[in-house]
C-alpha cells in the first residue's frame, strides 16, 4: 500500500507543479503583451512620437517646435532618438515620470521610476537622461511645448520650478489617436545613420546625449 500511495502522491504533486508553472508562463506572456510600444511615425507630414497602449495609440510629442533648431538636430532625427530612448526606459521599467532637472551644469529632461516625497523634486541622473537642453532654454516652457496634450488636460503639474508628467495617469485619460491600436513596430520614418560615438560623459550638442 505504501508504494502505491507514494506513487499517487507523487503524481498529484507533479500535476500541481505543472499547473503552477503553466500559470507563471501565462502571466509572463500576458505581461509582455501589455507592454507599451513607443515609435516615431510620420503623422500628416510631421514627425511624432507615439505610444501604443492597451487603450489605444496616444500622441506624446509632435516634433514641430523651434526648440533645439540651433543644435543641428532635425525634427525627424530627434523623433527617432527620443522615441528609442522612451522604449529603452520602458523596457527597463524606469519610465513612469518625466521631469526637467539638472545634471552637473546641464539643463536636462529625464525620466524616473518613482515620484519623490512632496517636499522634494525628482533628481535627474545620467542613466535616466532623456535629452539635454541649451543653456538659454527655459526648462518648464520646453516641457510644456513638448507635452502640449498633457498640458491641455492639466496632467503635468509644476512644483518648485519642476514640471512633472506622470505617464501612467496621463495614459489613463489621454485622448486616443486610434480607437483600437495593435502593438506595432515602426519606426515609419527611416532612421538616419549616426556617426561613431566617443566615450565622453554628457559632453554633447544640446538636445541629445548618447
Burial of 15 from C-beta contacts in 10 A (0-12 / 13-18 / 19+): exposed
The confidence score (pLDDT) of residue 168 equals 94
pLDDT at 21: 39
- Considering the entire predicted model, what is its pTM? 0.70
Residues 115-161: tens digit of each pLDDT: 888 788 999 999 999 998 888 889 999 999 999 989 998 889 998 88
Predicted pLDDT at 118: 77
**4 vs 17, which has greater pLDDT?**
4
What CA–CA distance (Å, rounded) separates 168 from 127?
A: 21
Q: In this predicted structure, what is the pLDDT of residue 53?
A: 95
Residues 6+ apart with CB under 8 A from 115: 96, 97, 122, 164, 166
- Whether residue 197 is predicted with pLDDT greater than 60 in this model: the reply is no
- Express each pLDDT in 19-60 by its tens digit: 543 343 333 333 333 689 999 999 989 999 999 999 999 999
What average pLDDT is seen over the chain?
77
Torsion, Cα of 91, 61, 170, 209 (10° steps) = 40
Q: Look up residue 70 and give its DSSP letter.
A: G
Amino acid at each position: 500500500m505504501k508504494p502505491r500511495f507514494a506513487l499517487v502522491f507523487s503524481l498529484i504533486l507533479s500535476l500541481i507543479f505543472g499547473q503552477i508553472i503553466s500559470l507563471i508562463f501565462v502571466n509572463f506572456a500576458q505581461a509582455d503583451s501589455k507592454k507599451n510600444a513607443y515609435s516615431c511615425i510620420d503623422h500628416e507630414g510631421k514627425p511624432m512620437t507615439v505610444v501604443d497602449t492597451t487603450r489605444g495609440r496616444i500622441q506624446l510629442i509632435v516634433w514641430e517646435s523651434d526648440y533645439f533648431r540651433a543644435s543641428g538636430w532635425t525634427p525627424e532625427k530627434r523623433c527617432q532618438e527620443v522615441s528609442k530612448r522612451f522604449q529603452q526606459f520602458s523596457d527597463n521599467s524606469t519610465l513612469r515620470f518625466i521631469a526637467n532637472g539638472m545634471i552637473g551644469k546641464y539643463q536636462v529632461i529625464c525620466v524616473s521610476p518613482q515620484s519623490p516625497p512632496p517636499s522634494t523634486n525628482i533628481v535627474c541622473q545620467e542613466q535616466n537622461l532623456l535629452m539635454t537642453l541649451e543653456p538659454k532654454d527655459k526648462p518648464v516652457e520646453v516641457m510644456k511645448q513638448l507635452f502640449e496634450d498633457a498640458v491641455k488636460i492639466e496632467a503635468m503639474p509644476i512644483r518648485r520650478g519642476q514640471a512633472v508628467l506622470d505617464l501612467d495617469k496621463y495614459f489613463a485619460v489621454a485622448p486616443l489617436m486610434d480607437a483600437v491600436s495593435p502593438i506595432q513596430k515602426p519606426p515609419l520614418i527611416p532612421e538616419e545613420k549616426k556617426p561613431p560615438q566617443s566615450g565622453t560623459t554628457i559632453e554633447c550638442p544640446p538636445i541629445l546625449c548618447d
